[in-house]
Structure 1
Amino acid sequence: MVRTPNPLWHTLTHLRGNPRACVWTEPMWGLSMALVLPYASVFMLALGVHDEQIGLIASAGMVSQVFFGLAGGIITDRLGRRATTALFDVVAWVIPCLIWAFAQSFWGFLAASMVNGAMQVTQNSWDCLMVEDAERGQITRIYSLVRVAADCSALFAPIAAILVAQLGLEPAVRVLFINAAVVMTAKIIWLYLWSSETRQGRIRMAETDGHSLWRLLAGYRGALALLVRSRGSVLALAIAALFAAVTLINATFWQVVVSQHLQVPDPLLPFFPMVRSLMSVLFLFTLISRLTGGMDLKRATLWGFGTYLAGQLLLVLIPASRGDADLATYALLGVCLVLDSFGAGMLFMLSESLVALHVDEAERSRVMALQRMLIMLAAAPFGWISGWLSGIDRTYPFWLTAGLLVLGAVLTATRWVPTHPEPEPEQEPEPVA
């Protein structure tokens, strides 16, 4: 009996060109941003920034991403996918990390968040760099591998925990931000040297050469028309916007509710993303890769929304701790992590893949930039709203995420559009008279 190779592992080992360069450099995220992000909100609280201000910073960052997202398609077409990714990775990550490393108040964190909004430019160009020369059938698996690379980065979480335990929260986080700036610089250089401009990128650079900014901006009208006419793109946009809002709230306040409401000690905080990420990798290589192997992804999307919803509801139902968290609290958090890792892993891959699968290939850069701008615009208010809710009760932001996930499941169940045309039934030959 011949064993069928794992489809995700087979894709990883057979990637070539730009997809390989993008996927194989992504684990460096683990030695940079993934080490410090679990502490970001708790770090701000330690410096006197309030819950409402943290939420406002998150929303302001989203608004910044909206403006950068609008410009992202134009910049990507003019400079090319490869050069744009290198330049704006520096702007979006290296510079903000240095600002975060020396920030002392709300205003420093706000400034870093606004500059970090440039990530939408490089997200657009990086996506184009990664998938434009890839086979269409590989796209969902490529995004799964990106998620795996990000999740494997959690293996380095003990480094952050040891630093916090030895140096204390504030000095350790500042060291980690400086480390992130250095490692991200190395990642940027490696990706630039290993990649090449895409075929569509060269076409768009030639087509936009010599055109004014206003003429290129006017081209968004055509991109918007393409987006609105595609029911599949509109649904993908809605799913991605809901997932972005849930991700924003969890990234900002999950560690806060665990630290402040459930009384988990600071040195243990990075271990929760580590466990979630390792479980996500396991699911991506097994259950998720099997569920998304077919062309119709509707059932997989419903599984993603439903499982993530269960994890969020369980989190808010864990009783508050009066002293240090007890064994029962850790056990329930473990179940939350299992549910979140499956749901978030599934929805991350699907939300990105659905956008890429429904987009018009000739206008990929502008349409995806427009989609990302609309996604960020829709998600932006939820940072401030969740901050306001957290100021009332630390569990309230997660009741909000539960509602958003229910909405996503309803839209998927009632408005689904296949990512590939349904085959037409074969016609019976007419009888010969």
Structure 2
Amino acid sequence: MASSPGSLWHTLIHLRGNPRACVWTEPMWGLSMALVLPYLSVFMLTLGLHDAQIGLLATAGMISQVFFGLAGGIITDRMGRRLTNAVFDVIAFVIPCLIWAFAQDFWAFLAASLLNGALQVTANAWDCLMVEDAERDQITGIYSLVRVAADCSALFAPIAAFMVAQFGLEPAVRVLFINAAVVMLAKIILLYAASTETRRGLIRMEETRHESLWRLFVGYREAARLLGRSHGSLLALAIAALVAAVTLVNGTFWQLLVNQHLHVPDPVLPFFPMVRSLLSVLFLFTLIRRLTSGHDLKQATLWGFGIYLAGQLVLVAIPAADGDADIMTYALLGVCLLLDSFGAGMLFMLSESLVAFHVDEAERSRVMALQRTAVMLAAAPFGWISGWLSGIDRTYPFWLTSALLVIGVITTIVWWAGPHTEPSVEAVSADHA
């Protein structure tokens, strides 16, 4: 059946150049990092780390991301989008995976977390590589496809579950980290070979070739001014900061809660990200696409925050079982995943697309780096705070995320009650075409 011009299938089929290279190599994430990340917190707990230490590592990783995020725009402009992505993917993923594979104590995990913060550099370079030469009307579809690729990667979760069931959690996770390093290296090589430097990237490389690092850092003042005067970018920044904090807490402590508090067995853990991801794909192709197409973004944002909030409240309401998790526990976790996948998917689409639409093309690299830095600074304390809360009661971090999502609802209502009303995603795209 032929795909309509506005469909994700149409976008996928007609991608060319750098957008095609970025989107089509993204599923390799599923054979690398997605296989092992669901086990990282439980793996640390198995090796003797405490909840507070795990939370501290999350905060340290965020602080590292702040540093790398601020430097990311300068590095991306000086080295170029393509080379920056390749070099810093190795620093952010390949090397940390090898450290995690052989880690024995807190200090090894700390070293890996600090290096992993370099993902902010490669994220900035990768975003620029992907969208700078793309058609404006493809941007929302491209980000949706990236989300779909990331979500579909969880289909490989049964591989990890089988390995944990057969060999035990610690040895299986160590092997999975080695696999992640190898597959990520292959992804880096393929993307580098299939891509070219963007037109804007070539211009920025030439413009910054003879500029000092100090002058490049001073250039952030102009980027900050551009960011501050764009109402759409400020709204996207607020959404992204709240979502980043909630994502940090969920990514670090969700698996600990279901494993230690609800007594879900280790081999079952990777199936939760798989189900969440499949639901996210379904929602992106259906409800989320409809709610962000021709509708007021206020409604879409409120749906995102409200449903995500409902998912977090369902999670904390699940009673702990005396023994292994029962059928009711799994049913309620299913409801939680249903709500979380919709809410998180909606907010991801809105924050990423709004920033891409509103960023000045000439300053995309530095503005997006500044935006990421602000988001990481806002989210960083919540790793340590949620670790401290989890040490008291493993449900407390999710009361914290619920409060953050309530703030998101209030922020959205207050914003649109003021003079900063924004049009729909499609209208924004048309205005910038």
Q: TM-score range by the shorter chain?
A: over 0.9
Q: How far apart in 1 are the matches of 2:4 and 2:364?
A: 34
Which amino acid in structure 2 is aligned with residue 125 of structure 1? A
* 1:219 to 1:5, Cα distance in 2 relative to 1, 3 A: closer
1:253 maps to 253
Q: How far apart in 2 are the matches of 1:422 and 1:268?
A: 42
Shift of 1:5: 6.5
Q: Which runs of 4+ in 1 moved over 6 A?
A: 421-424
* 1:418 to 1:190, Cα distance in 2 relative to 1, 3 A: same
2:106 maps to 106
Q: How far apart in 2 are the matches of 1:56 and 1:7?
A: 42
2:244 maps to 244
Mapped pair 1:143 → 2:147: no
Tell whether the 8 Å contact from 1:151 to 1:278 is kept in structure 2 after alignment: yes
1:431 maps to none
2:422 maps to 418
1:176 maps to 176
Stretches of structure 2 lacking an aligned partner (at least 5 in a row): none
Q: Secondary structure at the match of 2:286?
A: helix
Which amino acid in structure 2 is aligned with residue 264 of structure 1? V
Mapped pair 1:89 → 2:69: no
2:205 maps to 205
Q: Secondary structure at the match of 1:48?
A: coil
Which amino acid in structure 1 is aligned with residue 71 of structure 2? A
Q: How far apart in 1 are the matches of 2:250 and 2:53?
A: 16
Q: Which has the larger radius of gyration?
A: 1
Q: How far apart in 2 are the matches of 1:189 and 1:422?
A: 33
Shift of 1:421: 6.4
Shift of 1:414: 2.2
Given the two structures, how large is their TM-score scaled by the length of structure 2?
0.95
Q: Secondary structure at the match of 1:10?
A: helix
Tell whether the 8 Å contact from 1:141 to 1:289 is kept in structure 2 after alignment: no
The alignment covers a number of residue pairs equal to 423
Query: Which 10-residue stretch deviates more, 233-242 or 131-140?
Result: 131-140
* 1:295 to 1:141, Cα distance in 2 relative to 1, 3 A: farther
Which amino acid in structure 1 is aligned with residue 373 of structure 2? M
2:153 maps to 153
1:132 maps to 132
Tell whether the 8 Å contact from 1:35 to 1:157 is kept in structure 2 after alignment: yes
1:231-284 Cα shifts (integer Å, max 9, x gaps)? 221111111000000000000000000001100000000001101101111111
Shift of 1:7: 1.0
Which amino acid in structure 2 is aligned with residue 139 of structure 1? I
Query: Which 10-residue stretch deviates more, 226-235 or 102-111?
Result: 226-235
1:337-391 Cα shifts (integer Å, max 9, x gaps)? 1111111111112121111112111100001000100100000000000000100
What pairs with 1:33-432 in structure 2 (closer than 5 Å)? 33-294=33-294, 296-416=296-416, 417-418=421-422
Q: How far apart in 2 are the matches of 1:71 and 1:394?
A: 35
Shift of 1:299: 1.8
Which amino acid in structure 1 is aligned with residue 383 of structure 2? G
Shift of 1:297: 2.6
Tell whether the 8 Å contact from 2:224 to 2:370 is kept in structure 1 after alignment: yes
Tell whether the 8 Å contact from 1:23 to 1:142 is kept in structure 2 after alignment: yes
Which amino acid in structure 1 is aligned with residue 313 of structure 2? L
Q: How far apart in 2 are the matches of 1:354 and 1:409?
A: 18
Which amino acid in structure 2 is aligned with residue 95 of structure 1? I
Which amino acid in structure 1 is aligned with residue 388 of structure 2? W
1:31-86 Cα shifts (integer Å, max 9, x gaps)? 00000000000000000000000000000000000000010000000111111001
* 1:315 to 1:225, Cα distance in 2 relative to 1, 3 A: same
* 1:265 to 1:191, Cα distance in 2 relative to 1, 3 A: same
Q: Secondary structure at the match of 1:203?
A: helix
Q: Secondary structure at the match of 1:321?
A: coil
The Cα RMSD (Å) is 1.6
Given the two structures, how large is their TM-score scaled by the length of structure 1?
0.95
Which amino acid in structure 2 is aligned with residue 397 of structure 1? P
* 1:223 to 1:168, Cα distance in 2 relative to 1, 3 A: same
1:427 maps to none
Shift of 1:6: 6.6
Tell whether the 8 Å contact from 1:17 to 1:195 is kept in structure 2 after alignment: yes
Which amino acid in structure 1 is aligned with residue 399 of structure 2? W
Which amino acid in structure 2 is aligned with residue 366 of structure 1? R
Q: How far apart in 1 are the matches of 2:225 and 2:360?
A: 11
Which amino acid in structure 2 is aligned with residue 152 of structure 1? C
Query: Which 10-residue stretch deviates more, 393-402 or 294-303?
Result: 294-303
Which amino acid in structure 2 is aligned with residue 20 of structure 1? R
Query: Which 10-residue stretch deviates more, 293-302 or 402-411?
Result: 293-302
Q: Secondary structure at the match of 2:264?
A: coil
